[in-house]
Structure 1
Amino acid sequence: MKTAVITGASSGIGEACARLLAGGGWKVFLVARRRERLENIASEINGHAIVVDVTKAQEIDVGPVTRCDLLVNCAGGALGLDAVGQANADDWTNMFNTNVLGTLRMIQLLLPRLVESQGCIMNITSTAALAGYEGGGGYCAAKSAQRALTQSLRLEMKGVPVRITEVLPGMVNTPEFALNRLRGDAERARAVYENVDRPLAANDIAQVVVGVANLPAHVNVDEIVVRPVAQRAQHALFRGDLRWRDKQSSLHSSIVKGEYQ
């Protein structure tokens, strides 16, 4: 049985990855800070909870992981939409700590096991790593740094049979992401996705992660950008009816509109 370690596994993309991998027969270790929520998810999928802040993780925390075939670094997030001139430096510090240093720490802790298993590292960055946008300076900078870390690691491990992939999601409707970024303002969080016809869901990204993880061991996908059809670029988002012909369109729209209710 192959073993995966998923950070940020208590919600969003991390939770979706954990559930999909477990359903596919993987042994899954779920890593996050929120004990009750994490342990409940782990219990539901017959996984193993590691309750720790990834920015403070130590060898003792990953001790139960005797083998690691896949590390998926999902822990991260954004704080605020302030312009650079008015940005809160503490928010930037928190974003760098979680998105960049948390990824670094988990890779350093598990790299020997990944080398031993000839495994795969997948870092979930963002299309925010590809271009800046107004109000996104801190998040774009953090995700750009995480992207640079991934690219450097891939080159440094030339000659080592470990796959290293970066997944760059565009607009994904994960309720907690927008709520955290907007300090719990549900109205503003809902407006982020308003009239967007079928933004990505966490499970869409999880399917990409699992698909890459299950490729032959010699096949490395360096990076993969995943956006909804409604989003052609970071600055090019279409709001309106895309006139999908399948029945899932109305169902998906209803789910999106009800997620914050």
Structure 2
Amino acid sequence: MDRASIGGIALALLGIIIGQSIDGGKLSSLLQLSAFIIVICGTFGAVLLQSTLKNFNAAFHKLRFVFFEPINHRPEIASILLEWSQIARKEGTLHLEPIMEETTDPFIKKALRLVVDGATPNTIREIGVIELNQYEMSERNAIKVWDSAGGYSPTIGILAAVIGLIHVMENLSDPSLIGGGIAIAFVSTIYGVGLANLIFIPIANKLKTILQDELANYEMLIDGLAGIANGDHTIVLEDRVSSYLQ
């Protein structure tokens, strides 16, 4: 469980609740189902229109990483690279083939196959960078869903507020309904701005940070496997991968 994410949301909600109650405001005045439905459905409807269904589903699939921090596998990857280096230097790169066949990660499998097939270090780096760029583009397209939601949400909130004011204008003959109608209109704006700045944009930024860490893992793999293909000594490779662990 990522305590920072849970604590951040809790702190934001607590601040809103306390701030509302200090001046005698009621929490119930901030709970307007109709405004919430308009903002949520309008926001994700607009996002779905600009995105593909694949990216939309991937964005929600990644949501779990915001609250359950991914395990840092970088030290483990560094140790494995050093082990592969020793095998390659003592027995030859062909002895990495059984490891390649057992690997389930398609990126690692392809990179190991290049090493086993005797590709040059430059070729391994070039192909690895291409694969990594494609992967990064795919991941950022999914994260963009949350970025876009943060952009659309405030505008949809204003739209919901205008709809609420229309209802107010329709009931000018009944003064008792005017105050409540205006309150609902302003709550819609709160939902739009609040969801954007307290939920959607922070989620997008958190996922970007997680992606950067993941990309660094693959960069270390590319660099390490290129070094193995080049025949670098294990000590040299250890110095190289240690830079990624700092």
Name which structure has the greater RCO, CA cutoff 8 Å, separation 6+.
2
TM-score, scaled relative to structure 1: 0.24
TM-score, scaled relative to structure 2: 0.25
The structure with the largest alpha-carbon Rg is: 2
Bigger share in helix: 2
